[in-house]
A and B are shown apart, each in its own frame.
Chain A
Amino acid sequence: MRLSGGLIDRGQTLKFRWNDTWLKGHAGDTLASALVANDVKLVGRSFKYHRPRGIFSAGAEEPNALVQLRKGAAQEPNTRATVAELYEGLTATSQNHRGSLAWDLMSANDLLSPFLSAGFYYKTFMWPRAFWEKIYEPVIRASAGLGSLSGKADPDLYDHGYLHCDLLVIGAGPAGLTAARTAAQSGLRVIIADEDFLPGGRLNSETYEVDGQDGPGWAAATASELQGMDNVRLMTRTTVYGSFDSGVYGALERMTDHLADSGSKPRQVLWRIYAKRALLAAGATERSIAFGNNDRPGLMLSGAVRTYANRFAASPGQRVAVFTNNDDGWRTAQDLTAKGVTIAALIDTRADAPDSDDFRVYKGRAVADTKGRRGLKSITLENGTQVECDALAIAGGWSPNVHLTCHHRGRPVWREDIAAFVPGTDLPPGMSVAGAANGAMTLAAALKSGHEAARTIASDLGHAARGTLPQASDEQFAITPFWHVKSSKARAWVDLQNDVTTKDIKQSHTEGFRAVEHLKRYTTLGMATDQGKTSNVLGLAIMAEASGKSIPETGTTIFRPPYTPVPIGALAGRARGKDFRPFRLTPSHKWAKENGADFVETGMWLRAQWFKRPGEKGWRDSVDREVEMTRSGVGICDVTTLGKIDIQGRDAAEFLNRIYANPFAKVPVGKVRYGLMLREDGVCYDDGTTARLSENHFVMTTTTANAVTVFRNMEFARQCLWPDLDVHLISTTDGWAQFAVAGPKSRALLQKVVDIDLSNEAFPFMACGECKAFGTPARLFRISFSGELAYEIAVPARYGDSMIRALMQAGEEFDAVPYGTEALGVMRIEKGHAAGNELTGQTTAHQLGMGKMVSLKKDAIGTVLSQRPEMIRDDDLRLVGFKPVDKGAKLDAGAHFLTKGDPEDMAHDQGWMTSVAYSPELGHSIGLGYLKRGADRMGEVVRAYDPVRGKDTAVEVCSAHHIDPEGERQRG
C-alpha cells in the first residue's frame, strides 16, 4: 500500500503493465516499489521447486523478483525488479512458470522435494548411460534457467568508452559522497559511480540527519555540489562491476533503460575506467535468518522494508511483523510505526532486548514457521504462539559488500563484533575501502571513514588534503549472531534463488562436501544472478555449526567479476554485424563494384574475386574467361593488399640478408629478388619479392596475410637481435595502389602508360625502377605470379581509382581484362607457386623444392635449424603437381595420396593435395600437393583417396609447373 512522504514524484503518474494488468506508479519508483505499492505480493516462482515468491529486497541483491522486461526482440529476462526504474508504459512479466503465475504446473516439483535435494543431478542422471542424450539432457534443458530469450536479434545499441581519474569512488552513499567531496576539494580528478539512479545510498532509506539536514536532502545537496565541480564526474545508474589489473575498473552505465524510448542512443555503455586510486564505498547487504517456510511472498529483509516505506512511500503489508537478531529490526518497527503502519509484533532473538510502548515485543524468541501459500497470513513462534500478519521483516545482520576487494583473490576476514566478513589486507593495488563496506556500520563512522580515506589518498597523490567532515550521530548497532531456528520442522531456506535449504547444507556436510568451495558447487549455494548476496554468510555459518568449527575456520568463498550481471550486448559494444571488425578496401574498390565484381574477405580486406559479365552463368565462367584472356592477351589485377615495407639504412642490405634465407646482400640496384623467410625453427612462414630502389633503400612485399607478423618480426630483429644495425622500417601497404599487369600483351599496354623503355634489354625480368605512369610518379616491377610476361605498377593510392580507369582505357585496344583473386589463384596453381595452402606452418624449404636456395654461407633467421636431418630427408614430402588420369575427373584439395595397391590407412599415407583448380589452358583439373619422394615419382599414377567426399581418383604425378615449366613466358 502507498504511504505518505517519500522521494517519489506524485505529480508524475506512470502506467505500467504487470503480466495482464495495467497498474500505476510514480516517477522515482522502481518496478518493485510500484508493485509493493499496488499490493502485488506474488512476483515469481523459485528455480527448482517453483515455490511462490515475493519481493525480498530493495536492491541489486534481489534473489526472487526476477522478471522479464519489455516485449518482443527487446525482451530481457532475469531482470531484478528492485533495480528496474519505472517509466511510462513499462511492460514486465513474471517468469519460470508454466501456465499462470498463480497456478504454475511445475509447482509439482515442490512435492518431489525429498528427491531434489543437494547433489540431485549428480546422483540421478548417472545411469543408465543410454538415457544421457535422449532423455536426461532434454529434460534438464527444459527445466533449467529462469527467464527466456526472445530468440530475436537484440535491437538495442551498446557502446564502450574509456575514462581516467585520480580517484574512483565506488558507491554514492554517505561514505562515498563525503570521500568524493573531500577528494575533489583537495584537487583530485574524481569519478564517483553508483548503481542507483538517486545518489545517497542508505541515506535515502533511513530517517537520519547529516549536518543538521535530513539525510536525503544532504545527499541531494552534496551530489549537486559534486556535479558542479569541473574535476568531478558523478555517474548514477552505473555499476562498477569488476576490479582488474593496474587500477583498471569495469563499469556498466545504463543510459536509456529508464526511458520508454532510447532515442536511438546506446542503451548501455561499458566503461573501462583507469583510476590511480579507488575507494570502495559500496555499503552493506542485509541477510536473512533461516526458519520454516521463510520464503513466502510477504517476507522481506528489514532494511528493504524501510527503503520501501521511507524512500518509496510503500508498505509490503498492513500488519507487519519484525524478526530480528540485532538493533536494525527495531528501526524498521519504529519507522513503520511513524508512518502509521501497524506492527503486529517484534520478535527479537536476544533475551536482553528492550521494551516498546508502540508494539508487542517477544524477547528471546524466534519464528519457527509461516502460513499463507501465495502471500503471508501468519507466523508461528517456537513456543507455538501464532501472530497474524501480512508481511514479515527479517533482520539477520548486515554483510559488508566486499565483492570488489576479492577480485584479485583477496580474502575477507571475520569480525566478531559485527558478525560479518570485512575486507582483508590483501586488497587490489590502489584500492581502499570505507564506510559500511569496511565494517563502519553506523552513519557517523561511515562519514568519518570516507572523509579520512579521501584525505589519505589526496596526500598520497601529492595534494594538500582539504574538506570538512560532515556531522551525524551514531545510531544503535548491536548484534548477537543468530543464523537459523533449529526447532523448525518445515524446510528453512538459505539461498532463495537456488532453493538451497538448511537441510541441503547439512546433507552436504554429511556427504563430505565440507569445504566452502565444495559446499557451493554441491548445493549451488551462492550461484546464479544474485551470487548469494543475501545467503552466503548464512550458508557457511550453518556449515560451520554442522562441522563444529568457527566461522573464520570455515572461511568464505570469494567473488569474481561481475558484481552484478553484465549483458553480453554491452560486452560486445558496437562490434556486431558489419561493425564486427573494420573493412579494408583497395583503391580500385569503387571501380570494381561498378564493373560487376564479387568480393571476398581476405583478412580484413575486401578483394574482387571475379568480375561477372552478362551471360555468364556461374563463377567458373567468369574465372575461366579471366584466365584465358590474361594468358592470351593482358589482364589487370589489384594487388594492393600485399604487405609493403619500406626498408632504409646503411645496413639495410645486410639486414635483409639475415631476414631472408636466400642471399640478399648483393642484389643490384634496380633489381627485384624473390625471398624466402624462415622462422627460427627453420620452417618457411612467408615469401615475397624485395626490390632495391637505391643503395640503402629497399621495398619488400609480404603475403597479404602475414604483413603484420613480418613487420613485427623484423622490428624484433632490428631492435633486439642487432640493435646497432642502421636499418629503419615503415609500412607503406596502404600508400600505393599496385596493379599486376600480366599476359603477352602487358608490355605493349604498359609501354603506352610509362615513360621508360620496356624492351627486354632495357627492363628485363626482375627489373624495377621509378617512372611516370600517365605523368604521375610511379614504381614499376617486372615480376610475375601468373607465369606470364608481367609487371606490377604502383602509383600513390590517391591516384588508384584514376589509375585503374586509365589502365582499362589504355588497354581497350588489347582487350585488357580485369581479373580477381580466383583467376589469380588458378594461374598461380597452373604455374606451381606455393601460397597459403602450401605454407602450413610445417613446411620446409626442402619440401617446396627450394632447399638449395637456403644459403649456408651466412647467418639468417632459421638457417641453422632448417638443416636438421629430419628437415632435409630425401624421402620427405615434396611439392609436385597432379593431373587426373581421366581428364574429365575433378580433383579435390584434402585428398590423401596412396600408392596403388596399398591399403587405405594412415601407415600408408603418402601425402595430400593442397590446392586444385580447373586449368582453362590445359582443359582439365590440376592440383598441387605434397607427396613422399614426389620429385622422384614423375609419371607415376597414385590414388587421390578422399573418404570424406567418398572419392578415389587416379592421378598422375607431374611437375608443379603445369604450364611453361622453363619460365620462357615471364622472361620473354
Chain B
Amino acid sequence: MADITLTAAPILGLDLTLGANTLRERDDLALVSVATPQGGEDALAKALKAGFKLAMPEPTRSTQAGDTHAIRTAADQMLLVFPHDGPDANTMVQGKLKGAGYTTDQTDVWVVIEASGPDTLAALERLCPLDLHDSAFPVGASARTVMEHMGAMILRMDADRFLLLSASSSAGSFAHALETSYKNVI
C-alpha cells in the first residue's frame, strides 16, 4: 500500500498557559530503557560513556550530557531521555551501546509533560508526595512516585522547570490533574 503511510500524533498536543506557567507535551523526546545485565555493570558504564558521554545515574540523581538525560528507574535499570524523531530510537541506542545493556523503546509508553513557571512548586505540592525543596530535590534530581493515583516520574530541569512522565494511556487524566493543581494555586 504505497499510497498509505502512517503519521505519528502527539498523545495530547498539550500546550497550556496557566498564569505565568506553561504545561507542554514534549513529543520531541525519545525514551529508551536500558537494563544492566547481571555482572555487566562496568561494561555498561563504559559503553554509556563511549556512546553518550554519560555517567551511570545514581538512584536519585540523573546524569546529563548535552540534551541527553539518564534517569535511574530501578536498581538495575535506567531510562535515557533525548531529542529524537521517528520510531527507531531503540535501534539508535542499541547501536551506541553495542549490546552492553538490554534496551526497550519506552517512547510511546509515557507522556512527557514539561511543567514550568513560578507557581510550579506550589502546584506540585498538591500532587507529588515527594519533598521537592532545593535541599532535597535539586536540579538533576529524579524520582519515580505516584501522583493522583497515577504512576509518575519526575525530573528537575531547573529551579521551576520539571519533566513529568506518566502512562500514555492515562495521559489525559494526568494532564487534567496537573492543570487542576495550577488552577487551584494561582
Q: Which residues of A contact B (CB under 8 A)?
A: 157, 159-164, 189, 264-266, 269, 272, 274, 574-575, 579, 581-586, 604-605, 640, 646, 648-650, 696-697, 724-726, 728, 730-736, 752-753, 773-777, 795-799, 801-803, 806, 809-810
Interface string of B162-181 (1 = CB under 8 A from A): 00000111101110110011
Interface string of B115-149 (1 = CB under 8 A from A): 00000000001101111010110000000000011
Q: Can you show 15 pairs from A to B with CB atoms below 8 A apart? A: A157-B184, A160-B126, A161-B125, A579-B176, A582-B148, A582-B150, A582-B170, A726-B38, A728-B102, A730-B35, A734-B110, A735-B108, A774-B4, A802-B6, A810-B4
Instruction: Flag if A798 contacts B104 (CB, 8 Å).
Output: no
Note all chain A residues with C-beta closer than 8 A to B87: 776-777, 796, 798-799
Which segment, of B8-16, B50-58, B61-69, faces chain A?
Answer: B8-16
**With A649-B102, A730-B35, A796-B107 as given contacts, are A604 and B170 in contact (CB-CB < 8 Å)?**
yes
Note all chain A residues with C-beta closer than 8 A to B176: 579
Instruction: Flag if B170 contacts A159 (CB, 8 Å).
Output: no
Instruction: Flag if B129 contacts A734 (CB, 8 Å).
Output: no
Is B21's beta carbon under 8 Å from chain A? no
In the bound assembly, the distance between CA atoms of A733 and B109 in angstroms comes to: 7
**With A728-B35, A802-B6 as given contacts, are A162 and B128 in contact (CB-CB < 8 Å)?**
yes
Interface residue from B37, B104, B167 paired with A730 (Cβ < 8 Å): B104
Instruction: Flag if A809 contacts B126 (CB, 8 Å).
Output: no
In the bound assembly, the distance between CA atoms of A841 and B64 in angstroms comes to: 47
Instruction: Flag if A734 contacts B148 (CB, 8 Å).
Output: no
In the bound assembly, the distance between CA atoms of A585 and B77 in angstroms comes to: 27
Instruction: Flag if B170 contacts A730 (CB, 8 Å).
Output: no
In the bound assembly, the distance between CA atoms of A650 and B39 in angstroms comes to: 12
Count, A-B residue pairs, CB within 8 A: 145
**With A274-B131, A584-B170, A648-B102 as given contacts, are A728 and B76 in contact (CB-CB < 8 Å)?**
yes
**With A732-B109, A776-B6 as given contacts, are A584 and B169 in contact (CB-CB < 8 Å)?**
yes
Instruction: Flag if B104 contacts A648 (CB, 8 Å).
Output: yes
Interface residue from A581, A648, A735, A795 paired with B107 (Cβ < 8 Å): A735
Instruction: Flag if A605 contacts B5 (CB, 8 Å).
Output: no
**Shortest Cβ distance from residue B14 to the other chain A in the assembled complex, whole angstroms:** 14
Note all chain A residues with C-beta closer than 8 A to B41: none
Interface residue from A164, A265, A604, A734 paired with B109 (Cβ < 8 Å): A734
**Shortest Cβ distance from residue A775 to the other chain B in the assembled complex, whole angstroms:** 5
Note all chain B residues with C-beta closer than 8 A to A605: 169
Instruction: Flag if B133 contacts A164 (CB, 8 Å).
Output: yes
Note all chain B residues with C-beta closer than 8 A to A574: 148, 177, 180
Given contacts A157-B184, A272-B129, 17 further A-B contacts (CB under 8 A): A159-B184, A164-B133, A189-B133, A269-B126, A574-B148, A581-B149, A582-B149, A584-B169, A604-B170, A730-B104, A734-B110, A735-B168, A796-B107, A796-B108, A797-B168, A798-B108, A806-B1
**Shortest Cβ distance from residue A879 to the other chain B in the assembled complex, whole angstroms:** 32
**With A584-B167, A584-B169, A584-B170 as given contacts, are A735 and B148 in contact (CB-CB < 8 Å)?**
no
By the criterion of a CB under 8 Å from any partner CB, how many residues of chain B are at the interface?
A: 52
Is B27's beta carbon under 8 Å from chain A? yes
Note all chain B residues with C-beta closer than 8 A to A728: 35, 37, 76-77, 102
Instruction: Flag if B27 contacts A798 (CB, 8 Å).
Output: yes
**Shortest Cβ distance from residue A833 to the other chain B in the assembled complex, whole angstroms:** 25
Note all chain B residues with C-beta closer than 8 A to A640: 169
Note all chain A residues with C-beta closer than 8 A to B8: 796, 798-799, 802
In the bound assembly, the distance between CA atoms of A338 and B52 in angstroms comes to: 79
Instruction: Select from chain A the residue with minimum beta-carbon distance to B170.
Output: A582
Note all chain A residues with C-beta closer than 8 A to B170: 582-585, 604
**Shortest Cβ distance from residue B165 to the other chain A in the assembled complex, whole angstroms:** 11
Interface residue from A157, A579, A649, A798 paired with B10 (Cβ < 8 Å): A798
In the bound assembly, the distance between CA atoms of A731 and B35 in angstroms comes to: 13
Interface residue from A160, A582, A724, A799 paired with B7 (Cβ < 8 Å): A799
Note all chain B residues with C-beta closer than 8 A to A579: 176
Contacts of B28-49 to chain A: CB distance below 8 A: 33, 35, 37-39
Note all chain B residues with C-beta closer than 8 A to A801: 9
Note all chain B residues with C-beta closer than 8 A to A582: 148-150, 170, 173-174
Instruction: Select from chain B the residue with minimum beta-carbon distance to A271.
Output: B125
**Shortest Cβ distance from residue B123 to the other chain A in the assembled complex, whole angstroms:** 10
**Shortest Cβ distance from residue B79 to the other chain A in the assembled complex, whole angstroms:** 9
Instruction: Select from chain B the residue with minimum beta-carbon distance to A797.
Output: B108
In the bound assembly, the distance between CA atoms of A731 and B76 in angstroms comes to: 15
**With A734-B109, A735-B108 as given contacts, are A799 and B6 in contact (CB-CB < 8 Å)?**
yes
In the bound assembly, the distance between CA atoms of A582 and B174 in angstroms comes to: 8
Interface residue from A266, A269, A795, A798 paired with B11 (Cβ < 8 Å): A798
**Shortest Cβ distance from residue A187 to the other chain B in the assembled complex, whole angstroms:** 11
In the bound assembly, the distance between CA atoms of A795 and B88 in angstroms comes to: 12
Instruction: Flag if A796 contacts B169 (CB, 8 Å).
Output: no
In the bound assembly, the distance between CA atoms of A585 and B167 in angstroms comes to: 10
Note all chain B residues with C-beta closer than 8 A to A795: 6
Note all chain A residues with C-beta closer than 8 A to B33: 730
Instruction: Select from chain A the residue with minimum beta-carbon distance to B123.
Output: A161
Instruction: Select from chain B the residue with minimum beta-carbon distance to A776.
Output: B6
Interface residue from B7, B10, B126 paired with A161 (Cβ < 8 Å): B126
Instruction: Select from chain A the residue with minimum beta-carbon distance to B8.
Output: A798
Instruction: Select from chain B the residue with minimum beta-carbon distance to A604.
Output: B170
In the bound assembly, the distance between CA atoms of A802 and B7 in angstroms comes to: 6
Interface residue from A164, A733, A774 paired with B136 (Cβ < 8 Å): A164
Instruction: Select from chain B the residue with minimum beta-carbon distance to A732.
Output: B109
Note all chain B residues with C-beta closer than 8 A to A696: 102
Contacts of B149-169 to chain A: CB distance below 8 A: 149-150, 167-169
Instruction: Select from chain A the residue with minimum beta-carbon distance to B11.
Output: A798
Instruction: Select from chain B the residue with minimum beta-carbon distance to A580.
Output: B149
Instruction: Flag if A731 contacts B11 (CB, 8 Å).
Output: no
9 nearest A-B pairs in the assembled complex, by CB-CB distance: A728-B35, A582-B173, A797-B108, A164-B131, A584-B169, A648-B102, A735-B109, A798-B8, A726-B38
Instruction: Select from chain A the residue with minimum beta-carbon distance to B111.
Output: A734
Note all chain B residues with C-beta closer than 8 A to A733: 109, 169
Note all chain A residues with C-beta closer than 8 A to B110: 734
Interface residue from A159, A646, A777, A796 paired with B104 (Cβ < 8 Å): A646
In the bound assembly, the distance between CA atoms of A648 and B103 in angstroms comes to: 9
Note all chain B residues with C-beta closer than 8 A to A646: 104
**Shortest Cβ distance from residue B141 to the other chain A in the assembled complex, whole angstroms:** 14
In the bound assembly, the distance between CA atoms of A605 and B180 in angstroms comes to: 22
**With A163-B125, A274-B131, A648-B35 as given contacts, are A585 and B169 in contact (CB-CB < 8 Å)?**
yes
Note all chain B residues with C-beta closer than 8 A to A726: 37-39
Instruction: Select from chain A the residue with minimum beta-carbon distance to B130.
Output: A162
**Shortest Cβ distance from residue B39 to the other chain A in the assembled complex, whole angstroms:** 8
Interface residue from A264, A753, A799 paired with B1 (Cβ < 8 Å): A753
In the bound assembly, the distance between CA atoms of A157 and B183 in angstroms comes to: 12
Interface string of B92-113 (1 = CB under 8 A from A): 0000000000101111111000
**With A605-B169, A728-B35 as given contacts, are A773 and B109 in contact (CB-CB < 8 Å)?**
no
Instruction: Flag if A162 contacts B6 (CB, 8 Å).
Output: no
Instruction: Flag if B184 contacts A730 (CB, 8 Å).
Output: no
Instruction: Select from chain A the residue with minimum beta-carbon distance to B131.
Output: A164
In the bound assembly, the distance between CA atoms of A157 and B180 in angstroms comes to: 11
Note all chain A residues with C-beta closer than 8 A to B183: 264
Residue of B6, B11, B130, B181 contacting most chain A CB atoms (<10 Å): B6
Instruction: Select from chain A the residue with minimum beta-carbon distance to B37.
Output: A726
**Shortest Cβ distance from residue A693 to the other chain B in the assembled complex, whole angstroms:** 11
**Shortest Cβ distance from residue A733 to the other chain B in the assembled complex, whole angstroms:** 7
In the bound assembly, the distance between CA atoms of A162 and B148 in angstroms comes to: 12
Residue of A163, A586, A604, A796 contacting most chain B CB atoms (<10 Å): A796
In the bound assembly, the distance between CA atoms of A584 and B166 in angstroms comes to: 11
